[in-house]
């Protein structure tokens, strides 16, 4: 008889492996399981298998013992990884990615309990199966539904992102240099995995100027290596003075985000980082579904132009004129920002004349 939710011997589980590949945002959303697993398996080590770009997000999370890296460079590297997982003798594996390669790694692991999504062609690898429907839940909630379905704890909704003391010190020093203690600092993040997910700089500039006008805010433009052009364009288009973040690694960017009072971001890795470091977030959506990929948690809000006939197109490049962002009414955006300020009890220096 195959193991199921009624007969996992928790006392026998000493080593757990979580498998989650893809982008850093997807990996961050999977960390919602960590506190729940620690509750059910307090004496077990938790290890993680992911791709190299997500290493920095995970390696400073205290509950993660070690991180294995999935590299697509060669067939040999794949064999070495399978052998590494095999040798570590994990008792319980959660394959939250469940593609053909991760299913094979799970199947060959010799783990007694092998949990994954029962997608076609991959069910052979798992003797514990989670939900079969992927698009019914938010991407973070889907992981909790998985735990719930197999009889494990699922109450904690905390996301995690690891920051070092050096990361925090860097951010504190930057903020002390650029702002004063009572400044209401709003971050703008033009990052986006695809071009069509990136709100246009002219709209970001419009949003930034209106936030300054209404709340006397200071604007910090956050950017990564692929976003420098947009960041500089926003700074040129804005009528008000801005602070441009320096080029940093992903953890130092996360530390800067953590010190912001709130941020406005595209559907992107930095948006999910913001939710993980508990910075109130407004996400801007066009081609993607905010119900599935929006900011996770009650602190946050999202906005999109629902009446647009091509909304949620999921196209990598917009064949039109990016109306989903360009035509977003500023008053609706500011209404969402007001909601975030209210429910998070933020204290901007409201300009009473606006």
213-267 tens-digit pLDDT: 999 999 999 998 889 999 999 999 999 999 999 999 999 999 999 999 999 999 9
Grade residue 133 by pLDDT with cuts at 50, 70 and 90. Answer: confident
Question: Residue range 113-141: average pLDDT?
Answer: 92
Residue 33, domain CATH: 3.40.50.2000
pLDDT of 280 > 50? The answer is: yes
Task: Tell me, yes or no, whether 128 and 21 share the same domain.
Answer: yes
Mean pLDDT of 193-219: 95
- Structural domain span for residue 318: 166-343
> Is 171 found in the same domain as 143?
no
Q: Residue 93 pairs with which residues in a beta bridge?
A: 17, 114
pLDDT tens, position by position, 281-315: 999 999 999 999 999 999 999 999 999 999 999 89
Question: Do 187 and 318 lie in a common domain?
Answer: yes
Clarify whether residues 114 and 214 are in a common domain.
no
If asked whether residues 131 and 252 sit together in one domain, one would say no
Q: What is the pLDDT of residue 353?
A: 53
- The percent of residues above 70 in pLDDT, for the chain, comes to 97
353 assigned to some structural domain: no
Q: For residue 6, is pLDDT > 60? A: no
Residues 208 and 301 in one domain: yes
Domains held by the chain: number? 2
What digits encode the pLDDT tens for the residues 35-58? 999 999 999 999 999 999 999 999
């Amino acid at each position: 008889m195959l193991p199921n939710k009624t007969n996992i011997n928790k006392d026998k589980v000493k080593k757990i492996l979580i498998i989650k590949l893809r982008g850093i945002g997807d990996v961050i959303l999977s960390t919602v399981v960590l506190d729940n697993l620690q509750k059910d398996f307090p004496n077990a080590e938790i290890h993680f298998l992911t791709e190299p770009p997500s290493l920095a997000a995970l390696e400073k999370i205290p509950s993660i013992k070690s991180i294995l890296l999935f590299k697509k460079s060669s067939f040999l590297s794949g064999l070495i990884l399978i052998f590494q997982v095999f040798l570590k003798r994990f008792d319980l594996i959660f394959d939250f990615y469940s593609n053909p390669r991760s299913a094979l790694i799970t199947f060959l692991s010799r783990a007694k309990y092998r949990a994954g999504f029962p997608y076609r062609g991959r069910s052979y690898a798992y003797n514990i199966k989670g939900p079969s429907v992927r698009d019914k839940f938010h991407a973070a909630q889907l992981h909790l539904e998985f735990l719930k379905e197999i009889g494990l704890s699922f109450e904690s909704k905390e996301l995690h992102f690891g920051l070092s003391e050096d990361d925090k010190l860097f951010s504190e020093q930057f903020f002390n240099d650029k702002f004063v203690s009572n400044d209401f600092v709003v971050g703008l993040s033009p990052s986006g995995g695809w071009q069509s997910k990136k709100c246009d700089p002219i709209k970001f500039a419009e949003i930034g100027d209106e936030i300054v006008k209404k709340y006397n805010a200071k604007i910090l433009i956050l950017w990564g290596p692929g976003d420098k052009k947009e960041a500089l364009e926003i700074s040129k288009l804005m009528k008000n003075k801005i602070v441009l973040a320096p080029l940093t690694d992903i953890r130092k960017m996360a530390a800067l985000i953590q010190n912001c009072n709130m941020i406005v971001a595209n559907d992107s890795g930095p948006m999910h980082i913001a939710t993980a470091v508990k910075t109130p977030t407004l996400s801007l959506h066009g081609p993607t579904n905010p119900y599935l990929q929006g900011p996770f948690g009650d602190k946050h809000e999202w906005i999109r132009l629902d009446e647009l006939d091509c909304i949620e197109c999921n196209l990598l490049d917009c064949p039109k004129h990016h109306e989903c962002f360009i035509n977003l009414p500023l008053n609706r955006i500011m209404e969402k920002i007001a909601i975030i300020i209210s429910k998070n009890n933020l204290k901007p220096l409201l300009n009473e004349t606006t």
